[in-house]
Homo-oligomer: A and B are copies of this chain.
Amino acid sequence: MRGRLLRTICSIALVTAAAAPALGQSDRWYPSPWGPEDQRGAANRLTPEKVLEARNLITRGSVYQLGHVYEQAMPLFGTRHFSLRIPQTYGPMGVNRTMYHDEVVSAEIGQVSTQFDGLGHIGIGDLFYNGNDRADFSRGDGLLKLGIENVGAIATRGVLIDVAAFKGVAVLDGNYEITRADVTGALQRQGTEIHSGDIVLVHTGWGSLWLTDNARFGASAPGVGLDAARYLVEKEVVLVGSDTWATEVVPNPNPELQFPVHQLLIPRNGIYIFENLVTEELARDRAYEFAFFYAPLKLKGATGSPGNPLAIR
């Protein structure tokens, strides 16, 4: 038991000593600016005004589905699975002979294919958004706090950041770190600004590997680095999405760090991450600003949600 005592002390020391300088952030990241009881993070930035701002971007009536298909052949991370079966047809019922099909699905449904990461998903050591200790809220039957059912609807202005086009390529390299200059440069090229309360989608082109080269797709990913992520934090976004499985660059250029951008966005700043989005059509059409609509499934106590969000203009 003494070992556990020592391990706890060491954990605290490690987090404080090693991580803060690497992340370049103050370690005083909680309580949240939205209060010590807050569970919604940057979703608090969503207001009726943002809805109207989004509404004003709808001029053509063009609708883009940003979700991938969920299917057996898709890339899966680690030992996650996705199973869908159609049971024997039920019925017939009544003189009108009603017959029906169900499907039975089993999966890490919030972390396969197009996936929305909630505030219960990522921790720094044992601490999650707003300083919540997993010992206090993480339970077998569902998270007691930070569950995805708390997020609410996301209806706001969306901005596409086409970094691939800025770099003059169709697909960024697999370990390309998107810098602050890449982001600002891409925005400038597009003539687009980010407003507080927006969501942003980063287009890398990596999504073109989906189903065409799953092994390569999942082996690494181009994506935002820490400094670019800090820029997005400064711009007060609600969510950062991407056409990769990680949104951030993997592996990180600093080999000691694992998913530091996830930590910067989710627990430290309550900003959501949306992975495996289909951004190709938006990029093709130069749809840099759009109304964005998405609401996570209210899976009680879940850490994430599947989705098929809409971009409309």
A residues at B contact (CB < 8 Å): 1-12, 14-15, 18-19, 22-23, 47-52, 55, 58, 60-65, 67-72, 79-111, 120-126, 133-135, 138-143, 149, 152-153, 155, 256-260, 262-263, 293, 295-304, 306-310, 312
Contact = CB atoms under 8 A, between A and B. Distances in A.
A258 to B, nearest CB: 3
B138 A86 contact: yes
A136 B296 CA distance: 34
Contacts of A258: 93-94, 96, 98
A17 to B, nearest CB: 9
A5 B3 CA distance: 9
B139 A88 contact: yes
Contacts of A102: 80, 108, 110-111, 140, 303-304
Given A47-B61, A88-B140, A10 B18 contact: no
Nearest to A101: B303
A100 B121 contact: yes
B70 A99 contact: no
B60 A48 contact: yes
Contacts of A9: 3, 5
Contact of A105 (B48, B108, B125): B108
A87 B89 contact: no
Given A70-B298, A310-B293, A121 B140 contact: no
Nearest first, the 3 A-B pairs at minimum CB distance are A48-B61, A3-B10, A94-B258
A94 B51 CA distance: 39
Contacts of A302: 84, 103, 105
Contact of A120 (B15, B63, B101): B101
Contact of A257 (B3, B51, B95): B95
Contacts of A259: 93-94, 96, 98, 100
Given A102-B111, A105-B109, A8 B5 contact: yes
